[in-house]
């Protein structure tokens, strides 16, 4: 399994923990592999990874998002994901590792009642914002974000931005500490976290000073806000320009 979660065990024994299992659009490519995982390879999807984290730190609250998509019958994304977990809970032993020897009856009895659906949020940023509020409202001092390796960097970025905008939720005031844990299944099986591009604002004093005037991060942010047709046109022109440089 893939897990980069760094939380002192002693700290979690003293504090209440909330886990946010980020939702995945129900019509997205390879939904089952991304959300559930690949048992044959021992790769945990978002849901089993979330349960493993919840068990490791005895989480008091497990939040599932979102309300951004629904089944043909009208069941919202978060609700559908929790129902899927209920149906396949005992199948988690097929992933091997710690889950192979786990007492599924104990895990089911302990954690299913702690699962709640956030069917209101419509995107990652809203999902994190609601999870922060839900965690604090339930007396939790730690929030763990769980998502695919190709999505978790964005989750962390949004969490940082939200905390900057809402200083009342920062550690010195709330307190709330946020950690992140990637699951083992990225959006596409052939493309992992190394395919995620992160463009930081200019900040390196030891680099060409002229580069600080080229705020590529701002340009990229504008690009991803374009609609599909304009984005496709931009990519075509940009590719041509890059070949000339």
With residues binned 3-state (H G I as helix, E B as strand, rest as coil), the percentages for the chain, rounded to 5, are 50, 15, 35
Beta-bridge partners for 63: 20, 116
Q: What is the DSSP string of 31-61?
A: HHHHHTEEGGGTEE-HHHHHHHHHHHTT-SE
3-state class (DSSP) for residue 231: helix
| Cβ neighbours, 10 Å, residue 57 | 22
Give pLDDT tens digits for 113-128: 999 999 999 999 999 9
Which contiguous run of DSSP H or E holds residue 182? strand 177-182
DSSP alpha helices (H): ranges in 89-166?
97-100, 104-111, 124-137, 152-165
- Quote the pLDDT of residue 1: 30
Rounded Cα distance, 22 and 64, in Å:
6
- Quote the pLDDT of residue 4: 42
- Tell me the average pLDDT of the chain: 89
* Angle value at C-alpha 212, between 208 and 214, nearest 5 degrees: 115
- Quote the pLDDT of residue 177: 87
Distances (CA, A) of 26 to 48, 55, 172, 205: 17, 26, 38, 45
Confidence of residue 34 (pLDDT cuts 50, 70, 90): very high
Write the DSSP symbol of residue 70. B
Question: Is pLDDT larger for residue 240 or for residue 210?
Answer: 240
């Amino acid at each position: 399994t893939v897990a980069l979660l760094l939380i002192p065990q002693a700290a979690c024994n003293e504090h209440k923990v909330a886990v946010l299992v980020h939702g995945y659009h129900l019509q997205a490519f390879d939904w089952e592999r991304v959300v559930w995982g690949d048992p044959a390879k021992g790769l945990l999807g978002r849901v089993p990874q979330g349960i493993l984290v919840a068990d490791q730190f005895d989480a008091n609250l497990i939040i599932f998002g979102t309300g951004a998509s629904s089944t043909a019958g009208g069941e919202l994304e978060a609700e559908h994901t929790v129902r899927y977990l209920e149906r396949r809970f005992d199948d988690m032993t097929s992933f091997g590792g710690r889950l192979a020897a786990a007492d599924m009856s104990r895990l089911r009895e302990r954690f299913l009642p702690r699962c709640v659906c956030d069917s209101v949020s419509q995107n990652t940023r809203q999902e994190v914002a609601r999870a922060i509020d839900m965690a604090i409202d339930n007396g939790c001092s730690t929030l763990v974000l769980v998502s695919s390796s190709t999505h978790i960097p964005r989750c962390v970025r949004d969490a940082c931005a939200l905390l900057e905008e809402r200083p009342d939720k920062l550690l010195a005031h709330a307190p709330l500490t946020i950690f992140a844990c990637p699951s083992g299944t990225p959006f596409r099986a052939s493309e992992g976290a190394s395919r995620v591009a992160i463009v930081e604002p200019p900040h390196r004093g030891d680099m060409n000073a002229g580069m600080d005037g080229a705020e590529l991060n701002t340009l990229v942010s504008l690009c991803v806000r374009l609609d599909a047709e304009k984005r496709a046109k931009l990519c075509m022109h940009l590719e041509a320009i890059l070949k000339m440089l």
